[in-house]
């Protein structure tokens, strides 16, 4: 096998990163999605296990045991990548807190918050592998570095980029020369196993700041408008000109006791190139009326809106789901009881804020989402929806939590039903 044969399986960038990582105490792989950085880092980790000092423990750190299993051990068991010889020497039961890799015991640590510091305090770490390091608390990272206290101790880590002000970029990657650290920037072009069609699909799946991070693999600030691509001339349509619908995917609801309770109805058009449409909205804001309603009263008003005409033409379509603010436990019970026997029930929505924002932003950017003029609350909020400058300065991604109740409702239904509509919208896209 010559070099060109090897590069069909592993890229030159991956090979060089594995080799260069051997010379530094800390090695970080960052970049776009599906760039091959995890595979390269895991090969480097296997080589490091073989020579890891015996007077310290070996650990794998991630957000949770589940994410460690998904991102690390599922790959290790893939014989197409690591071969059967390696796969057979990786012994792990999902959910367990330890594994055996190449004959060495490896401890697994979930570190989703600062409380995880106690799990490594006092430990002597010979080798650490960190999955998605940019998502870990800085306090935990600093403690972990301090535990690398034997000769030859090393740390390997992967991550997707975040804000330019993120602590791991400012204090570690940019200070690499003083930290005995090397970092490697990867894009999808560094993964020889991806087809051009897949890469094109991925490039079409992100926009704005998320394109810069997930496709270019760059550290980029989330600043200014959350949806800068929003253009009422491009995305807003009169209710009377709503295209025919093939499906009403459901209703997204944000819930508030002192803030507004809102509902957004989402449909999928029957066009040759299907698009999503925010068809209609409902809301109640106690700040405007001066009257705070009980859950029963809110439910009654919402249910009075449900049977009204939500299309400009006769339709027998009915919403599939109600995707409700997951924090609205009491209201979910109220709706569940009130809607029994009607073929509609409330579900706790997927409240992954950044992922949901990315889903809506990408749909707008690719002309896959329309909003009718029966959604004035949503249209009033979208132009004012901004990233928090204060959070950005701290290296965090947060939106300004003001007047976002209709936007939250739309995010709940659009993102929570993505697995239903995404294939239809993208398959038929030009």
What would the two tokens of residue 148 be? 């690398």
Please give the DSSP secondary-structure letter assigned to residue 201: H
Rounded Cα distance, 86 and 84, in Å: 6
Rounded Cα distance, 311 and 292, in Å: 30
The answer to whether residues 85 and 155 touch, using CB atoms and an 8 Å cutoff, is: no
Rounded Cα distance, 176 and 174, in Å: 6
Give the bridge partners for 323, in sequence order: 252, 347
**pLDDT tens-digit profile, the chain (430 residues):** 344 555 567 899 999 999 999 999 999 999 999 999 999 999 999 999 999 999 999 999 999 999 999 999 999 999 989 999 999 999 999 999 999 999 999 999 999 998 999 999 999 999 999 999 999 999 999 999 999 999 999 999 999 999 999 999 999 999 999 999 999 999 999 999 999 999 999 999 999 899 999 999 999 998 899 999 999 999 999 999 999 999 999 999 999 988 999 999 999 999 999 999 999 999 999 888 888 999 999 999 999 999 999 999 999 999 999 999 999 999 999 999 999 999 999 999 999 999 999 999 999 999 999 999 999 999 999 999 999 999 999 999 999 998 899 999 999 999 999 999 999 998 655 4
Rounded Cα distance, 158 and 136, in Å: 11
Rounded Cα distance, 250 and 323, in Å: 7
The answer to whether residues 31 and 186 touch, using CB atoms and an 8 Å cutoff, is: yes
Residues whose CB falls within 8 Å of the CB of residue 404, separated by 6 or more in sequence, listed in order? 381, 385
pLDDT for position 8: 62
pLDDT for position 138: 96
- Rg, Å, the chain Cα set: 25
CA distances from 59 to 27, 100, 128, 139, 155 (A): 15, 11, 5, 17, 10
Please give the DSSP secondary-structure letter assigned to residue 119: G
The answer to whether residues 97 and 87 touch, using CB atoms and an 8 Å cutoff, is: no
**Neighbour count for residue 33 (Cβ, 10 Å):** 17
> How many residues does the structure list for the chain?
430
Rounded Cα distance, 9 and 352, in Å: 34
Rounded Cα distance, 275 and 254, in Å: 23
Q: pTM score, two decimals?
A: 0.81
Please give the DSSP secondary-structure letter assigned to residue 308: S
Edge-to-edge strands, sheet with 57-62: 90-91, 98-101, 104-110, 57-62, 125-130, 154-159, 26-31, 181-186
- 192: left (phi > 0), else alpha (psi -120 to 50), else beta? alpha
All structural domains of the chain, each given as residue ranges with its CATH number in brackets, are 3-214 (3.40.50.300), 232-427 (3.30.420.280)
Find the Cα–Cα–Cα–Cα dihedral 397, 400, 403, 404, rounded to 10°. Answer: 0
Rounded Cα distance, 323 and 410, in Å: 9
Please give the DSSP secondary-structure letter assigned to residue 99: E
pLDDT for position 1: 39
């Amino acid at each position: 096998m010559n070099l060109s044969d090897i590069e069909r399986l592993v890229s030159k960038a991956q090979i060089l990163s594995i080799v260069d990582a051997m010379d530094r105490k800390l090695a970080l792989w960052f970049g776009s999605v599906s760039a091959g950085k995890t595979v390269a880092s895991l090969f480097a980790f296997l080589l490091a296990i073989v020579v890891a000092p015996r007077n310290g423990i070996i650990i794998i750190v991630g957000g949770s045991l589940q994410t460690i299993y998904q991102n690390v051990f599922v790959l290790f068991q893939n014989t197409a990548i690591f071969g059967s010889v390696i796969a057979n020497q990786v012994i792990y039961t999902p959910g367990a807190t330890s594994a055996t890799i190449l004959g060495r015991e490896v401890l697994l640590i979930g570190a989703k918050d600062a409380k995880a510091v106690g799990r490594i305090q006092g430990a002597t770490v010979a080798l650490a592998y960190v999955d998605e390091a940019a998502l870990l608390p800085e306090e935990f990272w600093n403690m972990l570095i301090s535990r690398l206290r034997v000769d030859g101790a090393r740390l390997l880590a992967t991550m997707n980029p975040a804000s330019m002000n993120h602590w791991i970029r400012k204090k570690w990657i940019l200070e690499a020369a003083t930290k005995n650290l090397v970092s490697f920037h990867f894009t999808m072009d560094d993964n020889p196993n991806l087809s051009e069609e897949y890469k094109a699909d991925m490039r079409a799946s992100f926009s704005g700041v998320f394109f810069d991070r997930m496709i270019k693999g760059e550290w980029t600030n989330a600043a200014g408008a959350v949806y800068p691509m929003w253009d009422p001339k491009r995305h807003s349509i009169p209710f009377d000109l709503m295209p025919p619908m093939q499906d009403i995917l459901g209703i997204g609801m944000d819930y508030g006791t002192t803030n507004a309770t809102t509902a957004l109805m989402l449909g999928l058009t029957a066009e040759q190139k299907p698009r999503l449409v925010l068809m209609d909205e409902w809301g109640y804001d106690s700040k405007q009326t001066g009257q705070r309603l009980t859950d029963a009263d809110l439910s009654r008003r919402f249910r009075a809106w449900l049977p009204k005409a939500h299309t400009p033409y006769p339709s027998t379509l009915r919403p599939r789901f109600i995707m409700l603010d997951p924090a609205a436990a009491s209201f979910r019970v109220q709706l569940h009881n009130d809607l029994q026997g009607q073929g509609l029930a409330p579900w706790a929505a997927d409240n992954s804020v950044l992922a949901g924002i990315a889903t809506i932003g990408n749909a707008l950017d690719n002309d896959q989402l329309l909003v009718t003029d029966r959604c004035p609350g949503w249209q009033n909020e979208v132009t004012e929806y901004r990233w928090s400058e204060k959070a950005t300065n701290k290296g965090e991604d947060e939106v300004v939590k003001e007047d976002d109740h209709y936007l939250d409702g739309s995010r709940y239904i659009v993102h929570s039903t993505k697995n239903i509509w995404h294939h239809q919208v993208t398959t038929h896209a030009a």
